[in-house]
Amino acid sequence: MVQISHGNRFQTIFSLCRRTLGDETWGRVLAALDEKTEPQDLPHLLDGLRDTLHLPLYITDLARIEVAWHRARGKRPGLDQNVREILVNPSLTLIPVSWKNLFSLDHDRLQPGKGLPEPAQTHVMVWNHPESWKPDIREARNVDLLAIKMILEGIDPRQAAEMGSARVGDIHSAIHRAIDQDILISPPSNISRKQIPENNLPPGMASFFSSDTFTLQWHITQACDLHCRHCYDRSDRPDMSLSHALGILNEFYEFCGQMHVRGQVTFTGGNPMLYPDFLNLYQSAFDMGFGLAILGNPTPRDEMESLFKIAKPLYFQISLEGLEEYNDFMRGNGHFKRSMDFLDLLGEWNVFSMVMLTLGRNNLDQVLPLGHVLRDRTDYFTFNRLSTVGEGAKLLLPSKEDYETFLRNYEEALEKNPELGIKDNLLNILREEKQKKPFGGCTGYGCGAAFNFVALLPDGEVHACRKFPSPMGNIFKTPLMEIYQSDLAQQYRNGPEDCKECRLSLVCRGCLANTYSHGLNIFKDKDPFCFVS
């Protein structure tokens, strides 16, 4: 007879097996053990006892699962911190089983499955999360096994998609889900503020150190059905061919892979819907797995329906410059009403809608009233400061004092209108004053110029920010990676020298376009509207 302490150990490890078999049968199983029997030996022992004790056919699989779960709970997985490519979590155990619905995980404990066990050839995954060491377990889905297989065998997602007549995006979705759940381990993003030591960041700012997403803000055409009085660029830049555009998508795909980030393509213009091959380009970007967004103008229903047959964008952003009279003065007669109707359509289609206002001296007092009009009509409304370039050079910015007063009123209004969004980096000064957590600033990481986004123009010019002239190269002459890693791009990422010692630098660095608009040195001088104490 096995010693009592030995039997108690088995009862602790195999609680589901004991519950399944009942005390009497479980006692007979324990009686078959000897002092040399280890937990990993029990599945084989149960195989031998199945006919004699009339055990359920699935009991061996259940025992193997409990062995793996016991091992995971007692293990602290070691993981090389210098991960350079996606790899399978070293702690992952894949258990082939012939039954499903054998267990569930509830409050970190294995519980009986939700439903009767059913015959099915599948796998159970057991793994530890690398940072918390917390174990996890669940039945593997086909997409999990696909992701694991691709990484183990070094299969390129594009090759796998071609072989399986699938979308590259679907393959990437499977890999991303596995990464999100720590089944796969990804290298850290190469989009990071490397010049700022992470351990020296102020409290609450560590999450802004590195971005796992990179956005290509693609001005795919200069063609536009509007002629706004503050347009930054009405220059005549010819549209690129679809073949060139598809080549850029492939280059962006490679860039995101090398930087270990997820790519987003934000189509804009001009009006991106006026690009002759827009639907084909949009389809290709979707098939490749990029997140998609549109910055455009109110669009007819039939054109939007054609777009939605491919995929709904993450969001669709339009612009308004104030209440109806002022907006139509800036953007053309009837634009305000068309915009309201279009926002209603986006709501009908359940597409996240955003409204952006370009803020200058003449519409400073219209922001909050417009926010009231847009309440319950859009999902997000915010503003950018005017950049006095292009036709915007004819307009005026508010004074620094008036702008600070406006920001304080806006910050108070945020608590009353949930549709109001925060974008201007300088709002972090007010949040610090009120001991609120910082927000990520203009692009989620302070000024994102050449950091977690670049702007691409129709003729291939790559700019750090579209709001002012900031060319860094041409993608038809220089690879995107080389442009991004250039000394000039690094200057934009570093921000002004005047901001380097500021405690809010990581989530701010002001607005380079505003500094440019005042004729200052964008690499040296801070945002002239800054009022940090």
The single-letter code of the amino acid at 248 is I
Distance of CA 469 to the CA centre of its chain: 28
ω into residue 27 within 30 of 0, thus cis? no
- Both tokens of residue 110? 């294995």
Percent of the chain past pLDDT 70, that is, above it, reads 96
Distance of CA 233 to the CA centre of its chain: 29
Taking the C-alpha atoms of residue 402 and residue 399, their distance in angstroms, rounded to an integer, is: 5
Contact between 168 and 287 under an 8 Å Cβ cutoff? The reply is yes
pLDDT of residue 338: 98
Contact between 99 and 106 under an 8 Å Cβ cutoff? The reply is no
Q: Please tell me what DSSP assigns to residue 420.
A: B
Q: Which has the minimum average pLDDT: 315-324, 434-443, 478-487?
A: 434-443
Query: What are the pLDDT digits (tens) for 161-211?
Result: 888 778 999 999 999 999 999 999 999 999 998 766 555 556 678 788 899
pLDDT of residue 360: 97
Query: What are the pLDDT digits (tens) for 104-114?
Result: 998 888 999 98
Q: Which residue has the tokens 């750090």?
A: 464
pLDDT of residue 107: 82
Q: Is 533 exposed, middle or buried (0-12, 13-18, 19+ CB in 10 A)?
A: exposed
Taking the C-alpha atoms of residue 72 and residue 64, their distance in angstroms, rounded to an integer, is: 13
Taking the C-alpha atoms of residue 193 and residue 216, their distance in angstroms, rounded to an integer, is: 19
Q: Is 299 helix (H, G, I), strand (E, B) or coil?
A: coil
Stretch 222-226: mean pLDDT: 95
Contact between 448 and 470 under an 8 Å Cβ cutoff? The reply is no
The single-letter code of the amino acid at 340 is M
pLDDT of residue 165: 79
Taking the C-alpha atoms of residue 135 and residue 118, their distance in angstroms, rounded to an integer, is: 25
Give the residue among 299, 214, 177, 251 at the shortest CA–CA distance from 482: 251
Q: Is 266 helix (H, G, I), strand (E, B) or coil?
A: strand
Between the ranges 107-111, 113-117, 225-229, 398-402, where is the mean pLDDT highest?
398-402
**Helical (H) or strand (E) element with 96:** strand 93-100
pLDDT of 513 higher than 60: yes
Stretch 53-60: mean pLDDT: 96
Dihedral of the CA atoms 413, 414, 419, 423 (nearest 10)? 120
Going by pLDDT thresholds of 50, 70 and 90, the confidence category of residue 1 is: very low
pLDDT of 454 higher than 80: yes
Q: 59-73 and 15-31 helices cross at what angle (nearest 10)? A: 110
pLDDT of 384 higher than 60: yes
Instruction: Record the pTM.
Output: 0.90
Taking the C-alpha atoms of residue 446 and residue 510, their distance in angstroms, rounded to an integer, is: 8
pLDDT of 8 higher than 90: no
Query: What are the pLDDT digits (tens) for 332-369?
Result: 999 999 999 999 999 999 999 999 999 999 999 999 99
* 119: Cβ contacts below 8 Å, ≥ 6 apart: 98, 99
pLDDT of residue 197: 57
Q: Which has the minimum average pLDDT: 78-92, 169-183, 207-221, 453-467?
A: 78-92
369-372 contacts, C-beta under 8 A, 24 or more apart: 369/323, 370/320, 370/322, 370/323, 371/413, 371/417, 371/419, 371/420, 372/417
Q: 301-308 and 278-287 helices cross at what angle (nearest 10)? A: 30
The radius of gyration of the chain's CA atoms, rounded to the nearest angstrom, is 29
